Structure 1
Amino acid sequence: MKVLIVSNDREYIKRAKEVYEDADVALSIESAEIILSKKKYDFIVSDLVKDSLGGCAVKELGKEKRKEKLQPLKQEVIAVYSFKGGVGKTILVKTLLESLDKDIKVLVVDLNFRDGGSDLSFMLDLPVLPHIGMWLKERTRQSFFENLIEYSSNVSVLQAPPKVSLVRDIRGSDVDAIVKFARSKFDIIIFDLSDEFNEIVVAALDNATKIIVLSKGTEGEFARMKEFPYEFLTVFVRPEKGFKKYVKLLNLKYKVVSSLSKEIDTVCDFIFS
């Protein structure tokens, strides 16, 4: 959604930015007209223009509610896991980190290794370097912080490498070290995990204060849930019919959504409540 704020009132601009964080700002009608001639917007919010400007509709700021950002009450290590691929783990990680208050320092650790680069790296449009494989060459605290990517003012990423061979020597103890180092600087650590159950995944799960399992509600997933040796919260994304009978049998704590991105507030309330 592309929004243009047209105002010369500092307080108005501040309130508008609380609602539309990524909006552009024009300080006069004249400058707004120039901007509109070069770029398209979905709408304008303004205290200088009432109906429309340059063919772009104007919305009243007072009719929009500020979206309250989430502020967890304690330091969290959140592991996002699934028992099969293609359920939306990376989408959840991205929408989750973008839903947190800007005062919350977040580290995303991508342990979903694959040749060609991870989904998270592509989704966040990260540069190829640095990555976790570079930290593994030294395994020091200094090297750890040097190899983080600053995604935004409050979010950093320790990304997966473009080739699995670059992390072939990673161990469970390395995951323990990541958590130890990160706890000194970050309020929330989020692990994006593969759907395997190997030493690296187990180490991340062992360190987690909360485990979020994404599922489509298939029989195969429920069979693996039954054997899963951890307490976890389940988010079902457009689950298969009849899934509730298995939910009842396994006594799961769960939430059902049709879209992770559109219903992220519901998911976040579920995670942090």
Structure 2
Amino acid sequence: MRVLIVSNDRDYIKKAKEVYEDADTALSAESAEIMLSKKKYDFIVSDLVKDSLGGCAVKKLEEEQVKKETRPLKQEVIAVYSFKGGVGKTTLVKALFESLDKNIKVLVVDLNFHDGGSDLSFMLDLPVLPHIGMWLKERTRENFFENLVEYSSNVSILQAPPKASLVRDIKENDVDAVVKFARSKFDVIIFDLPNEFNEVVKAALDNAAKILVLSKGTEGEFSRMKEFPYEFLTVFVRPARDFKKYAKELNLQYKVVESIKNEIDKICNFVFERK
């Protein structure tokens, strides 16, 4: 990413350089126009010009500083889990990775194995091939990257296969290998987990730095939360009326939302500890 700083204020330039270490600097609008004629920039940050200069968009430094501060840590591993189906877990996974800065490389690992394919594959309209079952045939690092679906410029998917039988031999150490390989190229790894608790799911939870549980706040979900052997963050979506009583008993860290899509910023602030 090429950024041009346009300013004659030393303090402003210093702050801008803290955000964009490799940015070029122009001390006036006139010199900036000359530089723009010789090199293509993605955008400008400036306290001298507004809106655009030479066809290049101008952004406020304050906005860009906030973006840097709210970026999740490198090598963040997040597991998205639920104790029942139909709560919007896959919608949350999609909203999470779409809300992240486009400079952040994200891998989504779908471990929802069902005949007919997973909700994530349908929601993202992914091709049937490749999928995780194809990687399991060789289990090599090279084969791993060959079997990722490139969903966008910064998001790749290791998708579930169309038939559960294609991953019948998956083991917990395969999940460990996925994380190991992914760390070399991705900043954030998001596990989309089924509402089950088996060895493969446990391996994903063991690898996660943060576990995000989506819930409707029903009594049955709280019963399973009580037995869940991990620390986790909870997002309640339009929860049951008496959910606060149970949440207090379990000492949960939680946020309440009416809509995942409309309140994704609130969820991200909670997950990534944004101020």
Shared fold, TM over 0.5: yes
2:180 corresponds to 1:212: no
The residue correspondences of 1:173-192 to structure 2 (distance < 5 A) are: 173-192=173-192
Match of 2:143 in 1: 143
Match of 1:265 in 2: 265
- Equivalent-residue separation in structure 2 for 1:224 and 1:159 (angstroms): 27
| CA displacement 1:123-162 (0-9 Å, x = unmatched) | 1111000000000000000000000011111110000000
Structure 2 residue identity aligned to 1:116: G
| CA displacement 1:29-80 (0-9 Å, x = unmatched) | xxxxxxxxxxxxxxxxxxxxxxxxxxxxxxxxxxxx99x6551133210000
Aligned residues: 219
Structure 2 residue identity aligned to 1:86: G
- Equivalent-residue separation in structure 1 for 2:54 and 2:255 (angstroms): 38
Report the secondary structure of 2:261's partner residue. Answer: coil
Match of 1:251 in 2: 251
| CA displacement 1:64-115 (0-9 Å, x = unmatched) | x99x655113321000000000111100110111010011010000001111
Give the Å deviation of 1:15. 4.0
Report the secondary structure of 2:239's partner residue. Answer: coil
- Equivalent-residue separation in structure 2 for 1:13 and 1:219 (angstroms): 57
Structure 1 residue identity aligned to 2:85: G
Structure 2 residue identity aligned to 1:153: S
When normalised by structure 1's length, the TM-score is: 0.76
- Equivalent-residue separation in structure 2 for 1:86 and 1:224 (angstroms): 16
Give the Å deviation of 1:120. 0.3
- Equivalent-residue separation in structure 2 for 1:238 and 1:222 (angstroms): 15
Aligned in 2, Cα 1:107/1:12: closer, same or farther, shift over 3 Å?
A: farther
- Equivalent-residue separation in structure 2 for 1:154 and 1:232 (angstroms): 27
Structure 2 residue identity aligned to 1:239: P
Report the secondary structure of 2:130's partner residue. Answer: coil
Give the Å deviation of 1:174. 0.4
2:163 corresponds to 1:163: yes
- Equivalent-residue separation in structure 1 for 2:213 and 2:56 (angstroms): 38
- Equivalent-residue separation in structure 2 for 1:180 and 1:238 (angstroms): 37
Match of 2:81 in 1: 81
- Equivalent-residue separation in structure 2 for 1:90 and 1:12 (angstroms): 42
When normalised by structure 2's length, the TM-score is: 0.76
Give the Å deviation of 1:257. 0.3
Match of 2:17 in 1: none
- Equivalent-residue separation in structure 1 for 2:189 and 2:176 (angstroms): 12
- Equivalent-residue separation in structure 2 for 1:12 and 1:264 (angstroms): 35
- Report the identity percentage: 77
| CA displacement 1:196-244 (0-9 Å, x = unmatched) | 0001100000000000000000000000000100000000000000000
- Equivalent-residue separation in structure 1 for 2:162 and 2:118 (angstroms): 7
Report the secondary structure of 2:230's partner residue. Answer: coil
- Equivalent-residue separation in structure 1 for 2:56 and 2:233 (angstroms): 37
- Equivalent-residue separation in structure 1 for 2:105 and 2:220 (angstroms): 36
- Equivalent-residue separation in structure 2 for 1:114 and 1:150 (angstroms): 22
- Equivalent-residue separation in structure 1 for 2:75 and 2:141 (angstroms): 20
Aligned in 2, Cα 1:168/1:14: closer, same or farther, shift over 3 Å?
A: farther
Match of 1:111 in 2: 111
